[in-house]
Amino acid sequence: MPRLKREISISKVYHVIIRGINKQDIFLDKQDYLKFINEVERTKEKYKYEIYAYSLMNDHVHFVIYDKNDKISIVMQSLNISYSSYFNKKYERTGHLFENRFKSKAIESEGYLKNVVRYIHKNPENAGLKRYEWTSYNEYLYKEKLINKDMVIKAFGEDKESAINNFKYFHKNYSKYQDYDKGYELLTRISDEEAIEIIKNIIKEDNPLKIQQYDKIEREKAITKILKIEGITKVQISRIIGISRKTIGKIENESSKSDVTSH
C-alpha cells in the first residue's frame, strides 16, 4: 500500500462517487445494501483494488479507492452492470440505474485524505440520518470487511492504539460544513464529456477549441456564458477550450464587476 507524504502529490488514490440517474434512489431496503456490498467484494477480488473508506447513501455511494492496477473505470462499469441487473429484476424496471459517468478526484496529500475519509463517514449525519450502519467507520474501530484501514490509520500515528484514538477524536471534533466542499463539489461537478456537449451547444460549434479563433470580445462573451454552467470548473474549461486558467479567471472577474455595476 502507498504511504502518503504530507502535501506531496500522489496517484492512484481517489475519492469516487457513483450516483443514481436523475438522483434516483439506488437502495430501497437492507437486501439492496447487502447485495451491493457483495458486488463490491466480488470486484475487489477480481480487480485487486483496495477501499480505504465508503458510505452507501440512498441515491449515491462514496468511496476512497486505491486503484493500484489502473482498473477504476472497469471496476465501476462492472459494479454498475451487476447491481443494475439485480435492481431492475427485483423492482421490475428497465433502463439505466446509475449516471453514465462516475465522479472521481485524486487525493493528493495525507491531510486531504483524512478530511475526505471523515467527510464520507459524516455524510449520513450531514443528511440528517442517525445510527447509520452503511459506512466504513465501524470497520476502523472493529473488524475490517470491505476496507484496508492500515494506511489511513498510519496517518493518525505510528502507534496503532494512539492512532485509533486520534482517528476517533478527529471525527468527533467536526463542524458540519468543515469538509462540505470535499464531497459536494465532486458530487455536483459534471464530467468533461458532459461539459464538452454543453459548450458545443452554447457556442454552436462542433469543436470547443474553435473559441480560440474568436476575436477578443466574442471569446470573452462565450467564456462568460460557459462559466455559468452549473457544475463546471475553471480547470475543466481551460482543458476543454485550450485557454489558460489565468485568462479565464480574468474574464470571470470582469464579468463579476459588470454584474455589480449593472445592479
Assess if residue 25 is contained within a domain: yes
The span from the CA of 185 to the CA of 195, in Å, is: 15
Residue type, position 27, single letter: F
Assess if residue 6 is contained within a domain: no
Helix (H, G, I), strand (E, B) or coil at 133: coil
Verify that 197 and 165 share a domain, yes or no: no
Question: Within 13 A of 235's CA, how many CA atoms are on the CB side?
Answer: 5
pLDDT tens digits, 206-263: 999 999 999 999 999 999 999 988 778 888 899 899 999 899 989 988 877 665 455 4
pLDDT at 195 over 50: yes
Among 7-11, 17-21, 104-108, 128-132, where is mean pLDDT lowest?
A: 7-11
Q: What are phi and psi of 227, to 5 degrees?
A: -60, -20
Q: Using 50, 70 and 90 to split pLDDT, how confident is the model at 110?
A: confident
Give the count of domains, the chain. Answer: 2
pLDDT tens digits, 29-40: 999 999 999 999
**What is the average pLDDT across 87-106?**
89
Verify that 53 and 178 share a domain, yes or no: yes
Verify that 174 and 208 share a domain, yes or no: no
Assess if residue 171 is contained within a domain: yes
Domain end marker among 132, 160, 188? 188
H or E segment to which residue 80 belongs: helix 72-90
Domain end marker among 141, 163, 188? 188
Residue 120 burial (C-beta neighbours within 10 Å; 0-12, 13-18, 19+): buried
Verify that 95 and 199 share a domain, yes or no: no
Verify that 108 and 181 share a domain, yes or no: yes
Assess if residue 7 is contained within a domain: no
Residue 129's CB: how many other CB atoms inside 10 A? 12
pLDDT at 27 over 90: yes
**What is the average pLDDT across 160-164?**
92
Verify that 151 and 222 share a domain, yes or no: no
Question: Within 13 A of 241's CA, how many CA atoms are on the CB side?
Answer: 33
Verify that 230 and 199 share a domain, yes or no: yes
Verify that 61 and 167 share a domain, yes or no: yes
Assess if residue 1 is contained within a domain: no
Verify that 151 and 203 share a domain, yes or no: no
Residue 174's domain comprises 13-188
Q: Using 50, 70 and 90 to split pLDDT, how confident is the model at 183?
A: low
Verify that 142 and 255 share a domain, yes or no: no
Specify the higher pLDDT residue, 3 or 32.
32
CATH number of the domain residue 151 falls in = 3.30.70.1290
pLDDT at 179 over 60: no
